Amino acid sequence: MSTEKLQLYKCEVCGNLIQVIVPSYGELVCCSQPMKLQTVQHDSTEMGEKHAPKLEFRENKSYVQVKTHPMLPEHYIQFIEVYKKDKSILHLKYLNPGEIPEFEITNFDDDIEAIEFCNIHGLWGEDKND
């Protein structure tokens, strides 16, 4: 099974989380076992509502926010990514507990997608039904 550009894989033993920059055919292994592909979750439940990154465009800037999610040391959003849909450009912002989970990008076109990663609930994308 080949990897794909920007896929995220997690080690279920040690918690290493890695992203594929240049894909190839080798299996990704950590702590002597295959790493688990993280799939992007989308849904319209309360859980999805809490986790879905919201994209807004104002004055030549793109804003991504995950307003209602906690940012506590035990439960927080670890990073937000914004990338062009063709995956030619990637922006990543690391977050810490206590910070506001938002990301501002200047001079970006609207052909972008956003994802965020919660330390407990994993990878989430935008709610397409918004």
**Residues lying near Fe ion in the complex (CB under 5 A):** 118, 120-121
Distances 120 to 5, 14, 15, 63, 84 between C-alpha atoms, Å = 24, 14, 11, 24, 26
Q: Are 47 and 110 in contact (CB under 8 A)?
A: no
Report the nearest approach of Fe ion to the CB of residue 112 (Å). 23
- Choose between 1 and 120: whose C-beta lies nearer to Fe ion: 120
- Choose between 3 and 126: whose C-beta lies nearer to Fe ion: 126
Please give the Cα distance from 104 to 86 (Å, whole number). Answer: 20
Report the nearest approach of Fe ion to the CB of residue 118 (Å). 3
- Choose between 36 and 121: whose C-beta lies nearer to Fe ion: 121
- Choose between 80 and 118: whose C-beta lies nearer to Fe ion: 118
The residue with its CB nearest to Fe ion is 118
With the CA atoms of 112, 101, 92 and 47 taken in that order, what torsion angle do they form, in degrees rounded to the nearest 10? -60
Report the nearest approach of Fe ion to the CB of residue 76 (Å). 8
Report the nearest approach of Fe ion to the CB of residue 116 (Å). 9
104: number of Cβ within 10 Å: 15
